[in-house]
Amino acid sequence: KAGVTQTPRYLIKTRGQQVTLSCSPISGHRSVSWYQQTPGQGLQFLFEYFSETQRNKGNFPGRFSGRQFSNSRSEMNVSTLELGDSALYLCASSLVIDTNEQFFGPGTRLTVL
């Protein structure tokens, strides 16, 4: 069974631009969560989607948004990029919501110049 895939793996953008990241969960998984990973902060929870609905949201500004499609694939969008948005963005999928088992993708490395 294929794992969680994230595209692209690497991105370079400049301040003020916007970016869209994509995540395809494991086949059959309906929940997708997004995390931002930075060296000083570790992993910080962005949001969780289940059945195309946002079920949980972390403490990030409104510039960070997401959505989930009917096939469970999810996208994350960051508008008006700032230097501090440079990070590894990880997606995790799980079979259902409120489970202890989540499977992570390899991440998208975003660099903002």
Partner 1 sequence: GDSVTQMEGPVTLSEEAFLTINCTYTATGYPSLFWYVQYPGEGLQLLLKATKADDKGSNKGFEATYRKETTSFHLEKGSVQVSDSAVYFCALKGTGNQFYFGTGTSLTVIP
Q: Which residues bind partner 1 (CB under 8 A)?
A: 4, 33, 35, 39-45, 48, 56, 58, 90, 92, 97-98, 100-107
Choose between 17 and 43: whose C-beta lies nearer to partner 1. Answer: 43
Peptide bond before 25: cis, by omega within 30 degrees of 0? no
Taking the complex as a whole, how short is the minimal distance between the CB of residue 42 and partner 1, in angstroms? Answer: 4
Choose between 17 and 73: whose C-beta lies nearer to partner 1. Answer: 73
Query: What SS3 string covers the chain?
Result: CCCCEEECCEEEECCCCCEEEEEECCCCCCEEEEEEEECCCEEEEEEEEECCEEEEECCCCCCEEEEECCCCCEEEEECCCCHHHCEEEEEEEECCCCCCCCEECCCEEEEEC
Taking the complex as a whole, how short is the minimal distance between the CB of residue 59 and partner 1, in angstroms? Answer: 9
Taking the complex as a whole, how short is the minimal distance between the CB of residue 64 and partner 1, in angstroms? Answer: 15
Choose between 2 and 70: whose C-beta lies nearer to partner 1. Answer: 2
Choose between 56 and 79: whose C-beta lies nearer to partner 1. Answer: 56
